Amino acid sequence: MRIAVFYKFLIVFVWSVSSFAFAQKVADFPCKAASTTSSDGRFIIEAPPCGSDANSWDRRIWLKDQETGERRLLLEFSRDVRIGWAPKGNYFFLNENASSSDAEAYVYIPTEDRRLDLINWIDDAFPRDRRFEHDSHHYVNVIRWNDANTVVVRRTGHFDLADAGAFTVCYVVGLDVTVKRIDSTYSEGSNCP
C-alpha cells in the first residue's frame, strides 16, 4: 500500500516538475508587453512604450545582449508579434501576424544572429502542403515549444474561393530540420495536440 502511494506521489511530482520546466514564456507586442527576457537572462527583447493612439504605436522590437551590451533592431512589423522563449533561453520563436490574411513563424538563434524560416522547412518536407498558400488566408504560428529543440506549428486558414474549405494542419518541427505532420483537419482554427 505504501509503495503504491509513493509511486503515485512520484508520478505527480515528476509531472509537476516537467510541466514547470517547459512552462511557456511568451510575450505579445506591441503594448501587451514592454519587454521579455530569455530564460537564461542573457537576452532581452524590448519595445518602445505605446501611447493612447494605436495609429502612432512604434512597431519595432529590439534585441539586447546582456553579455556584450549590444542592442540591435530585431524586427519592424505591421500588426503584432508573439515571442516565446525556448526552455533554455538560447532560441525563441516569433509569430508575425503580417496582415488579415497572412501570418508567418520563425525561430531565432540570437547568438548566431540567424532566423530559421519554418514554413520553408515544412514545405520542403511536405511539398503537397504548399497548396494551402495559394488563394487562401494562410496563418502559420508556433503554438509552443515541445522541448528545448522542437516546436509545434499550426498552419490554418481558408481558401478564398467559395465553398473551397478551411484547413488546419499541425507539425512538430525540430531545429535539426526534421518535420513531422501530427494532425490534419478541415476546420479552421482547430488546436494542435
Mean of all residue pLDDT scores within the chain? 84
| Residue bearing cell 533592431 | 73
> Which tens digits make up the pLDDT trace of 41-63?
999 999 988 888 877 788 899 99
Return the half-sphere exposure (C-beta side, CA atoms, 13 A cut-off) of residue 111: 8
Task: Mention every residue, 6+ apart, whose C-beta is less than 8 A from residue 164.
Answer: 135, 136, 158
Cell numbers linked to 34: 514592454
At 188 the pLDDT is 64
Query: What's the pLDDT tens digit per position in 21-31?
Result: 446 789 999 88
Which residues make Cβ contacts (< 8 Å) with residue 35, sequence separation at least 6?
A: 27, 44, 45, 46, 47
C-alpha distances in angstroms, 169 versus 124, 151, 153? 15, 14, 8
Question: Which of 2-6, 56-60, 128-132, 184-188 is predicted with the least confidence, judged by mean pLDDT?
Answer: 2-6
CA 137, distance to chain mean position in Å, is 19
pLDDT in tens, 139-193: 999 999 999 999 999 998 888 776 667 889 999 999 999 999 997 776 666 778 7
Cis peptide bond upstream of 48, omega within 30:
no
Quote the CA–CA distance of 115 and 131 in Å, as a whole number. Answer: 24
Find the largest Cα–Cα distance for the chain. Answer: 65
Residue of 114, 90, 117 whose CA lies nearest to 105: 117
Q: Which of 186, 141, 135, 140 is nearest to 159 (CA)?
A: 135
- Classify burial at 135, counting beta carbons within 10 Å of its beta carbon; exposed 0-12, middle 13-18, buried 19 or more: exposed
Torsion, CA 101, CA 107, CA 110, CA 113, rounded to 10: -70
Find, among 14, 37, 123, the residue nearest to 84 by Cα.
Answer: 37
Confidence at 124, pLDDT banded by 50, 70, 90:
very high
